[in-house]
């Protein structure tokens, strides 16, 4: 046990190699698109909407597809009111405040780990980031669940409470709904992978 702890102490004190530090920098750059691209994309197809109503969830905003013929977010809310679903309002999403903040904080922590060059800092960032990522995912899932389950009791059309799909395809009334992670989500995952590789690289170099 003590041996293991010693080993751990040695591990956490390891210096980060140049390669690992450069990887952290790359990871930070890779994370930047998270500010500019959607985290999640949902598309609602039906007979009347062969091109699909589109909904894009960003780290900081909600955006519907918009053409001169249609405002999708408005339309989705318009349709949802028949089943008594609350309108999707940006102001209802606390995520839009804390997700950008969280990402910013993690970028700063990653840069700090790069500059100080200690394994423990890098592990901190990795663990915090994984927690943040999973929590965000759960938070979105919970929100979808709430929207689908808190339906007004006096709605004109009664449907069974439901959860819109987080990933994949689902049939909801006359709509086929597709939900997939967006580019921002991929950059979040890639960020975590790059940090992990940075940890492994420095650890391996210490072994040699």
Cα separation, 194 vs 53, whole angstroms: 35
Residue with the two structure tokens 């059309």? 157
Cα separation, 87 vs 112, whole angstroms: 41
Q: Using an 8 Å Cβ cutoff, are 64 and 75 in contact?
A: yes
Least CB distance to another protein at residue 84 (A)? 13
Rank residues 42 and 122 by Cβ distance to another protein and give the closer one.
42
Least CB distance to another protein at residue 62 (A)? 16
Cα separation, 133 vs 192, whole angstroms: 9
Question: Per the structure block, which two tokens stand in for 54?
Answer: 């589109």
Rank residues 115 and 157 by Cβ distance to another protein and give the closer one.
157
Facing residues of 176 across strands?
45, 171
Question: Per the structure block, which two tokens stand in for 195?
Answer: 């940090």
Rank residues 7 and 74 by Cβ distance to another protein and give the closer one.
74
Least CB distance to another protein at residue 83 (A)? 11
Distances (CA, A) of 135 to 103, 110, 156: 13, 19, 35
Least CB distance to another protein at residue 155 (A)? 11
Rank residues 146 and 174 by Cβ distance to another protein and give the closer one.
174
Least CB distance to another protein at residue 48 (A)? 9
Rank residues 13 and 78 by Cβ distance to another protein and give the closer one.
78
Which of these, 125, 86, 83, 80, lies nearest to 107 by C-alpha position?
125
Least CB distance to another protein at residue 74 (A)? 5
Query: Which spans of this chain sit near another protein (rule: CB under 8 A)?
Result: 68-71, 74-75, 78, 82, 156-157
Question: Per the structure block, which two tokens stand in for 149?
Answer: 């389950």
Rank residues 21 and 56 by Cβ distance to another protein and give the closer one.
56
């Amino acid at each position: 046990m003590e041996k293991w702890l010693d080993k751990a102490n040695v591990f956490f004190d390891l210096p980060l190699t140049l390669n690992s530090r450069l990887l952290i920098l790359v990871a930070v750059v890779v994370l930047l698109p998270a500010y500019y691209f959607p985290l999640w994309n949902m598309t609602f197809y039906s007979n009347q909407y062969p091109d699909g109503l589109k909904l894009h969830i960003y780290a900081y905003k909600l955006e519907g597809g918009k053409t001169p013929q249609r405002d999708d977010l408005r339309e989705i809310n318009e349709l949802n009111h028949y089943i008594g679903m609350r309108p999707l309002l940006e102001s209802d999403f606390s995520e839009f405040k804390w997700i950008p903040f969280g990402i910013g904080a993690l970028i700063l922590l990653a840069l700090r780990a790069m500059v100080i060059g200690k394994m423990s800092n890098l592990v901190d960032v990795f663990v915090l980031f994984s927690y943040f990522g999973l929590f965000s995912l759960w938070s979105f899932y919970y929100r979808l669940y709430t929207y689908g389950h808190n339906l007004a009791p006096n709605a004109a059309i009664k449907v069974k409470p439901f959860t819109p799909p987080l990933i994949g395809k689902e049939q909801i009334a006359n709509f086929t709904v597709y939900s997939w992670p967006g580019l921002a989500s991929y950059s979040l995952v890639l960020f975590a992978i790059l940090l992990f590789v940075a940890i492994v690289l420095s650890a391996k170099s210490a072994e040699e």
